Each structure stands twice: as structure tokens, then as C-alpha cells.
């Protein structure tokens, strides 16, 4: 599990991350959403010990990254696919990483095939497209077969087939019980790959959302008696047009309350909130 507690980072007068606290739990893909400059990359760098926090802590499995006995075997990271020596081949780059971490070179061949660059493994990385570099970067993140993965914008530069492949890969890793933390500005893709998202704005936590769980039930007619009964049942009720928007209770409960009050319903429709709608509403308030 990744845990941030009161995480803060200042660069001179600039407050990049402001008292940020959240958990990333194993067994699910957790998205990390925020506008450019919101503090996502800085947060990930602090988790990985690349930037020292001004205040607060960031831990993986209860320990700071610098205290992990074998970091590459415990945490796999992809922050910038351009940070590879352009004159090295993909195979040479991964062998260098494996040798430094005491990982068998046979694992290099495994991850090259896993990410689909085995056929180009002897080409210089400098000749690769951004999408191919992303794949090599993912191979490096997976090299130590870690239980935790931090990936910063791993979908950038990938074609539709590549995006679908990464989506399946991340979901499969999460099903194995790994901790998967992925930042992205592609809301549509996060809606497909993540089970929950951490939303930040201007370095501060806005909310943690369960993807696809929030819903509104539209009910007609707009009965004041029904609205009162639903509120008594714990729902949030808003009058709209000639009906009611109901949140906080399932549609079955709405129907039961209507029956208890002897009210005939002309419409009862559940509408799931999309991630984009929820994100824009949250960040709009935050800004």
C-alpha cells in the first residue's frame, strides 16, 4: 500500500503539494487525476524518494522508499520514458537495470516479450517512437516483478491497440493483488481502467472517488410527500423540471418509499455519473 500523510512540497515561493493525505490500496487500479501543474508528478517523485518533502511522509508498505531493502523488486516506476540513454538498445538498458538490482538477465527477455518490444530489443532507444519508449519504460517497471507500481502518464504516445493492451495489463496486475497507482489526464481511459481515483487540484486533495459508483435516480412526478419520505430514508433530493433527482439510495428503495406513501410513479430511471462529469464538477468547485 502507498500512503501519503500531510505531504507538502515547496519550491521557493511555489507550493506544489499542500498537506496531501491519501492511501493507494492493493488489488485495484487507482487513478491519479489533476490538471497540468496540479502536483501529480511531484507527489510521485516524493513517494519514490526523488524529491524530499518539505513536510509530511510518503511510504510504500509502511516504509520510506529509501529504506526498502530491494527497491526494484518492491516498487516499479515509470515517470518519464525519455529518461533512457538514446544510444543504448532496449535490451542493454534493461540488462543494466537488472545487473544493478541483482536480477537474472533471463527476466529481461521475459519483460521484453511481455511489453511487445522483443522484435526491436537491439535497436537504439533513440530511434523509438514515444509509444515504443513507453513500452520499454513499462518493461523496466515490471523487471523486478514488484508488488507496487507507480506510472506517470503511461498512456501518452500509445496507439489505440497499445492503450487497450496497457489497460488489460494494469487490470491484470491489480487482480493479482498488486498496488497500481496511475496518473493520467485521459479521463475516458481512467474511467475504463481504474476502480477508484484520487483527485487533486493546486496540490490539495479534492476527493477520492469510486469510479462508476455514484448515481442519480430521476423520479416523476415531483411529489413533495415523496421528497419528504425519501429525505427521511436518508436520500438527497433535488427538484428538477417536473420530477425529482434522488441521490444516496438505490432505485429499489425509491420505489419502496413511493409504495409506502401510495404514490404512483410515472418514471424511475437510474443514471450513472461519468468520471469526466464528476471530475469537472469537483475541480470546478476547487478552482
- Tell me the pLDDT tens digit for each residue of 262-287: 999 999 998 766 677 777 777 764 43
Residue 217: count other Cβ atoms within 10 Å of its Cβ: 25
Alpha carbons 50 and 53: distance in angstroms, whole number: 10
**Domain map (residue ranges) of the chain:** 2-210, 215-286
Alpha carbons 227 and 221: distance in angstroms, whole number: 10
Alpha carbons 222 and 66: distance in angstroms, whole number: 59
Query: To the nearest whole number, what is the mean pLDDT of the chain?
Result: 91
* pLDDT tops 50 at residue 111: yes
pLDDT at 286: 45
Mean pLDDT of 33-59: 95
Measuring CA to CA, which residue among 272, 280, 267 is closest to residue 216? 272
Q: Is 2-210 in CATH node 3.40.710.10? A: no
Q: What is the pTM of this model?
A: 0.78
3-state secondary structure of 14: strand
* pLDDT tops 50 at residue 260: yes
Task: Determine the distance from the C-alpha atom of residue 99 to the mean position of all C-alpha atoms in its chain, rounded to a whole number.
Answer: 31
- Tell me the pLDDT tens digit for each residue of 215-246: 789 999 999 999 999 999 999 999 998 899 99
- Lowest pLDDT segment from 86-100, 116-130, 177-191: 177-191
Answer whether 148's CB lies under 8 Å from 75's CB. Answer: yes
The stretches of 33-104 forming alpha helices (DSSP H) are 40-47, 71-74, 90-101
pLDDT at 273: 62
pLDDT at 255: 94
pLDDT at 45: 97
Phi, psi at 153, each rounded to 5°:
50, 55
Residue 162: count other Cβ atoms within 10 Å of its Cβ: 18
pLDDT at 213: 55
The stretches of 25-119 forming alpha helices (DSSP H) are 40-47, 71-74, 90-101, 105-114
3-state helix, strand, coil in the chain (%, to 5): 40, 30, 30
Share of the chain above pLDDT 90, in %: 76
What is the Cα gyration radius of the chain? 23
Q: Is 215-286 in CATH node 1.10.357? A: no
**DSSP summary character for residue 211:** T
pLDDT at 272: 66
The length of the chain in residues reads 287
pLDDT at 287: 39
Alpha carbons 8 and 203: distance in angstroms, whole number: 8
The stretches of the chain forming alpha helices (DSSP H) are 40-47, 71-74, 90-101, 105-114, 130-142, 160-175, 187-193, 224-232, 251-260, 275-286
Q: Cis omega (within 30 of 0) on the bond before 75? A: no
Amino acid at each position: 500500500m502507498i500512503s501519503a500523510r500531510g505531504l507538502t512540497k515547496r519550491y521557493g515561493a511555489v507550493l506544489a503539494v499542500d498537506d496531501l493525505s491519501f492511501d493507494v490500496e492493493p488489488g485495484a487500479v487507482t487513478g491519479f487525476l489533476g490538471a497540468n501543474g496540479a502536483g501529480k508528478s511531484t507527489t510521485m517523485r516524493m513517494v519514490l524518494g526523488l524529491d524530499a518533502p518539505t513536510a509530511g511522509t510518503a511510504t510504500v508498505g509502511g516504509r520510506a522508499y529509501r529504506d526498502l531493502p530491494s527497491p526494484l523488486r518492491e516498487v516499479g516506476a515509470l515517470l518519464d520514458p525519455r529518461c533512457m540513454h538514446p544510444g543504448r538498445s532496449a535490451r542493454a538498458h534493461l540488462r543494466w537495470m537488472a545487473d544493478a538490482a541483482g536480477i537474472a538477465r533471463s527476466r529481461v527477455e521475459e519483460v521484453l516479450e511481455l511489453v511487445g518490444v522483443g522484435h526491436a530489443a537491439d535497436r537504439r532507444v533513440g530511434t523509438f517512437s514515444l509509444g515504443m519508449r513507453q513500452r520499454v519504460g513499462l518493461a523496466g517497471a515490471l523487471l523486478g516483478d514488484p508488488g507496487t507500481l507507480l506510472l506517470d502518464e503511461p498512456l501518452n504516445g500509445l496507439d489505440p491497440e497499445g492503450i487497450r493492451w496497457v489497460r488489460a495489463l494494469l487490470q491484470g496486475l491489480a487482480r493479482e493483488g498488486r498496488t497500481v497507482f496511475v496518473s493520467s489526464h485521459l479521463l475516458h481511459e481512467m474511467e475504463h481502467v481504474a476502480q477508484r481515483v484520487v483527485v487533486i487540484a493546486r496540490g490539495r486533495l479534492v476527493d477520492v472517488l469510486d469510479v462508476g459508483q455514484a448515481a442519480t435516480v430521476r423520479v416523476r412526478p415531483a411529489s413533495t410527500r415523496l421528497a419528504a419520505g425519501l429525505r427521511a430514508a436518508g436520500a438527497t433530493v433535488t427538484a428538477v423540471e417536473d420530477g425529482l433527482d434522488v441521490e444516496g439510495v438505490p432505485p429499489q428503495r425509491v420505489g419502496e418509499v413511493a409504495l409506502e406513501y401510495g404514490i404512483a410513479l410515472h418514471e424511475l430511471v437510474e443514471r450513472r455519473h461519468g468520471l469526466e462529469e464528476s471530475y469537472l464538477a469537483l475541480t470546478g468547485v476547487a478552482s
